Structure 1
Amino acid sequence: MAVARYDTTPVDSREYTGYSEFVDILDLRKFYSQGRNGKFELRIIVTRSKGNWDLDLFNIGFGVWDETLQIIDDSVQTKNDDMPKILGTLADYALSFLKKYPAAGLYAEGSTISRTRLYQREIAKVLSYVPPDLCIYGLVKQDEVGFIEFKRGTNFDAFLLSRR
C-alpha cells in the first residue's frame, strides 16, 4: 500500500532550543503542509530524556513550527485537508528511523485525547499493512494495564512502535 507523504529535510537541532535542558534531540526534520488555509512548516522531533544515552526509548513528536516563539506547536490545526498525508509522512519517517536504530522504541502520544483517538483511528486503518517485523503497542493507563499489542476496539492513551 502506497501512503501519500511529504518529503522531509533535516534541520540542525541547534536551531531548536525549546526544552533542550530536559531532553536530548536525536533528530529534527521539517516539511510543509500546503492546502486551502495556506502553507505551514511542520517539524518532526525525536528526543529522549536528557543524558539517558543507555536507553533506546525515544519520544517522537510533531507540530507546526512557530517561528516567533521558536517552538513546535502541537496544538495548531492547519485544516488543510491533508491529515492523512501528514500522518503518512510521520509514519514513513518513523519506519526509516527504526531501520537506522533497530533496537529503538518510538513513543507517541497526542497532545489531546481527541488527537490520540485520531492517531488510533489512522493506525487501525493501516494495521493490516504494517510490516511483519514491526510491533505497534498501545498504552492503557487505566488500572495501570500498561502497553499491550495494538488492536482495534481498545482505547489507548499512547503508542509505541518498535521492531520485533
Structure 2
Amino acid sequence: MNKPKYLYKTEEQLMVFEFISEGSKGIVKKMITYTYTGSENIYNLGFGDYDEATNGIDDKSVTNNGDSQKVLATVASTIYAFTEKYPEAWIFATGSTSVRTRLYRMGITTNIEEIKVDFDVYGLNAETDEWEEFIIGEDYLAFLVTKKHNKLAL
C-alpha cells in the first residue's frame, strides 16, 4: 500500500516484526507476529503493543496514539514482506475484540481496490459463519488474505 508507514525491523524468517509508533501519547513499541496455525499454509497475524514482561504482544492495550492509519499501513506492509517470502501463505487475522475486528474491516474497505491488485481477501461472514470473498459493508468475524497467483496466458 502506498501510504505513510513506519520502518520496521524483523528477523531472517520474517515471523516477528517490530516498529515504533510515535504520536500524541509518545513512543510506543509495537509488534507483529506470524504464527503457523497447524493448518497447511495458514498463519495467524498477531499484532499489538510490545509487552516487555512477556517479550510478546499485548493485543488488548489501547494506545490511542493518533497514528492508527500509519500503524495499519505498517501492518499491511509486513503482509507484503511475509507473502514475498512465503507466497503460498494464507494469513488469518481477527481483532482481539469486536471493535478491533471492525477497525480492520474498515481499513480493508478503505483500501480494498489497492489491496485487490496483489491479494485475494476473504471474510468470515458473521451471519452465515462461512468464508466469502470480501464484500464492502458485510460484517466479518475474521479475514483471510493470500497473494494473488498470476496465471500464464497461453
Q: Same fold (TM over 0.5)?
A: yes
Query: Cα offset for 1:36?
Result: 1.2
Matches of residues 39-118 of structure 1 in structure 2 within 5 Å?
39-49=27-37, 52=38, 55-118=40-103
* Cross-structure match for 2:25: 37
| 96 and 11 in structure 1: CA distance in 2 versus 1, 3 angstrom threshold | closer
SS in 1 for 2:45: strand
Work out whether residues 63 and 75 of structure 1, in 8 Å CA contact, stay in contact via their aligned partners in 2.
yes
* Distance across 1 between alignment mates of 2:146 and 2:27: 32
* 1:126 paired residue among 104, 111, 122: 111
Query: How many percent identity over aligned positions?
Result: 34
Amino acid at match of 1:96: A
Work out whether residues 14 and 82 of structure 2, in 8 Å CA contact, stay in contact via their aligned partners in 1.
no
- 1:60-100 deviation per Cα after TM superposition (whole angstroms, max 9, x unaligned): 11100111233310111111110000000000110121122
How many residue pairs are counted as aligned between the two chains? 148
* Distance across 1 between alignment mates of 2:58 and 2:82: 22
* Distance across 2 between alignment mates of 1:99 and 1:147: 24
Query: Cα offset for 1:26?
Result: 6.5
SS in 1 for 2:57: strand
* 2:139 paired residue among 155, 160, 164: 155
Runs of 4+ in 1 over 4 A off after TM superposition: none
Amino acid at match of 1:89: T
* Cross-structure match for 1:22: none
Amino acid at match of 1:28: V
CA RMSD of aligned residues (A): 1.9
* Cross-structure match for 1:6: 6
Query: Cα offset for 1:131?
Result: 4.3
SS in 2 for 1:78: coil
* Distance across 2 between alignment mates of 1:132 and 1:44: 23
| 151 and 115 in structure 1: CA distance in 2 versus 1, 3 angstrom threshold | same
* Cross-structure match for 2:152: none
* Distance across 1 between alignment mates of 2:81 and 2:54: 29
Structure 2 residues without counterparts, runs of 5 or longer: 149-154
Query: Cα offset for 1:28?
Result: 0.6
Query: Cα offset for 1:133?
Result: 3.8
* Cross-structure match for 1:17: none
TM-score (norm 1): 0.83
Work out whether residues 31 and 56 of structure 2, in 8 Å CA contact, stay in contact via their aligned partners in 1.
no
